[in-house]
Amino acid sequence: MYHPIRHFRVITRHRHRVIAHCFRAGIGFQGLFHDLSKYSPAEFWTGAKYFQGTRSPNAAERDEKGYSEAWMHHKGRNRHHFEYWRDYSHAAGGNAPVKMPLRFVMEMFCDRVAASKIYRGKDYDDGHPLRYFRGGPDKSEMHPETAALLESLLCMLAGEGEERCFAYLRSLDAKGDYPAALPYPID
């Protein structure tokens, strides 16, 4: 059953939360363009068809078909997803992860925190994005430096809270390189 209105509300709430987080992180202009492809027909109608409200419709599409066309469309257009950052590597003899530019790691962080808040609702706590990251395969599929920085930021969020974490993000030069040292120890 299609749920276009409910799907629209969820993706819009999520997008607005990411925008707010991006402003708090010092990359507000970038946040204004976050996930606009979700409103394209290729992604929107699939999302409306597989809408559940408690998890990504892409997961439900994947459960039914074995893959998600909407996700393939989305990840190819949104550079805050680590899956976008893969390229052929002679050294690896195939596709391999590429180190993400810092500003997209920052947006990825904002996206993950916002998604946790939307899907967890009143059950959200600052440790959830870290637990979700550690419970899935993402870390092993990212460039090691990207994974380490993201995990360190998620540890900072879990250990010190949003105010400290967003203040740290604002201190970074989003157009620069990764910080010389990880901002928070990885347990």
**CA-wise closest residue to 53 among 99, 9, 104, 108:** 9
DSSP string, 100-125: PPHHHHHHHHHHHHHHHHHHHGGG--
Taking 90 as the threshold, does the pLDDT of residue 53 lie above it? no
- How many other C-beta atoms can be found within 10 angstroms of the C-beta atom of residue 2? 12
**CA-wise closest residue to 141 among 92, 96, 180:** 96
Write the pLDDT tens digit of every residue in 134-181: 999 999 999 999 999 999 999 999 999 999 999 999 999 999 999 999
Taken as a whole, the chain contains a residue count of 187
Packing angle, helices 128-135 and 102-120, rounded to 10: 110
Domain chopping of the chain, boundaries: 4-171
Percent of the chain whose pLDDT exceeds 70? 100
With 0.75 as the threshold, say if the pTM is over it. yes
What is residue 65's predicted lDDT score, i.e. its pLDDT?
Answer: 97
Packing angle, helices 162-171 and 144-160, rounded to 10: 140
CA pair distance 131, 59, nearest whole angstrom: 19
